[in-house]
Amino acid sequence: MYCGTVNDLENQTTPFLMIDLPSFESNLSKMSDALPGTSLRPHVKAFKSTAVAQRLYAAGHTAFCCATIKEMEGMVSVGLSDDLLLANEVLDTNRLGALAKEGASITVAVDSKETINAAVAGGVSNVLIDVNVGLKRCGCDVSEAGNLAKYAKNVGLNIRGVMGYEGHLMMVQDRATQAEMVKDSMMLLLKAHENVGGPIVSAGGTGTFDLNSWATEIQAGSYLFMDTEYAKLGLPFAECLSVMSRVISTAPDRSWAVVDAGLKALGMDHGNPSVQDGIVGFCSDEHTTLYPNKGQPQVIWKVGDLVSLSPAHVDPTIAKHQNMFAYEGNTLVEKWPIDLRGW
C-alpha cells in the first residue's frame, strides 16, 4: 500500500500508466459477481502483475491462466499456484515441470502428439486438449480431439478436459449475432469434449463473458482495465487505464501539439489511442501528435500539460511498462509492478 499526496499526479515522470482505482475495483467486483470463484479463470497476460493477481485471488479467483512460462513462474513465486493453466502450446516444458516438482498445480494446453510428448518429457502431468473453434490459431480439429486424448492417456497424462478460444468473436459488435456465433463455436468444443472427457471446458474472454454459458470457466482479463476497442461493445465495465503523457511542444500557430508517449508506450495493433477534446494524428517512437477537434481553431493544450491517452488495446500497452500507478483522483494509492513481462 502506498499513500501519496494530491501532488503525485503532476510529479510522475511521463509516460506512465495511470489506473483509476475506484473504476478498477468496480470492474473487478462486477465480474466477480457475474462469474464467482473458479467460474472465472483470470488471464494473467492482460495485466502481467502479481500485485493485480493477488487482488483477484483475494476476491475468490484461485485458478489462473497464463500465456507464457515467465508468467507461470512469477505466479508460483508469490504463492498463487493452486491451479495454473498455460493456455498455450509449448515444446520445452522443463521449466513447467520444475514448478510442478515444487508443488504447484500445473496444466498445459496441447493440440498435437508433439506437444503431448513435450509435456511428458518435461514432467507436466496435467493437460487440456486445445480445440480449434474458429480462430485459426492453435488447437486441433474437433475430429482429432478424442484420438489425442487417448494418446495422452496412454503416455500417462491426466486429461482435465478441453479448451477452445473463440477469440475471433470478441469484437463482434452486434450482440445477437455474436451470441449465435459463440454458440456455434461452443457446440464444436462440446462435441470434442464428448470424446475427451474431464471436468473442464475452458473458453471465453472479456468480449463474450456474458454470452458463453457452455464453458465451465471463462478466461477473461482485459475487463479489469478495458480499452477503446472493448468499449465499443457496451460491456458493463469502465475504461480505467490511461497512458499519461506530457505536452513537450506545440506548433507556432497552435495547430498541433506533441506529447511524450508514442509507439514504445502504446499497444498499436488495434489502432491509434484516443484523446479527449482532440484528435490523435499519428504516433512515432516517442511522440504522439495531437490536433484540435474539427471546428476548433487551435489546440487546447500548452507545453507542460498532462494529457491522458486511451489505448486501443490494453494488454500489449501494459506489457510495455514497468509499473501501473493506481490513483484515487489525483492521489497515488498503490504502485503495481508489472513483474511478469518476458518469456
Q: Residue 61's closest CA among 234, 197, 224, 199? A: 224
> Could you tell me the pLDDT band of residue 3, with boundaries at 50, 70 and 90?
very low
The predicted structure's pLDDT at residue 85: 98
φ, ψ for residue 130 (rounded to 5)? -85, 125
Q: 36-219 maps to which CATH number?
A: 3.20.20.10
pLDDT digit string (tens) for 77-94? 999 999 999 999 999 999
Alpha helices in 123-262 (DSSP H): 142-154, 175-196, 228-231
Mean pLDDT of 338-342: 97
Mean pLDDT of 2-19: 76
The predicted structure's pLDDT at residue 7: 55
Please, are residues 318 and 48 in contact by the beta-carbon 8 Å criterion?
yes
Mean pLDDT of 118-145: 98
The predicted structure's pLDDT at residue 11: 86
Residue 73 clears pLDDT 60, i.e. is over it:
yes
Mean pLDDT of 49-59: 98
Rounded to an integer, what distance in angstroms lies between the CA atom of residue 50 and that of residue 20?
Answer: 18
Mean pLDDT of 283-301: 96
C-alpha grid cell, residue 66: 497464463
Residue 260 clears pLDDT 90, i.e. is over it:
yes
Q: Residue 132's closest CA among 91, 186, 93? A: 186
pTM over 0.75: yes
E-only strand ranges, 152-194: 158-163
Residue 4 clears pLDDT 90, i.e. is over it:
no
Rounded to an integer, what distance in angstroms lies between the CA atom of residue 237 and that of residue 32?
Answer: 12
Residue 320 clears pLDDT 90, i.e. is over it:
yes
How many other C-beta atoms lie within 10 A of the C-beta of residue 115? 22
Instruction: Find out whether the peptide bond into 15 is cis, omega within 30 degrees of 0.
Output: yes
CATH superfamily assigned to domain 8-15+237-337: D-serine dehydratase-like domain (2.40.37.20)
- Residue 142: its H or E element: helix 142-154
Mean pLDDT of 100-126: 98
pLDDT digit string (tens) for 151-196? 999 999 999 999 999 999 999 999 999 999 999 999 999 999 999 9
pLDDT digit string (tens) for 223-254? 999 999 999 999 999 999 999 999 999 999 99
Q: Where are the domains of the chain?
A: 8-15+237-337, 36-219
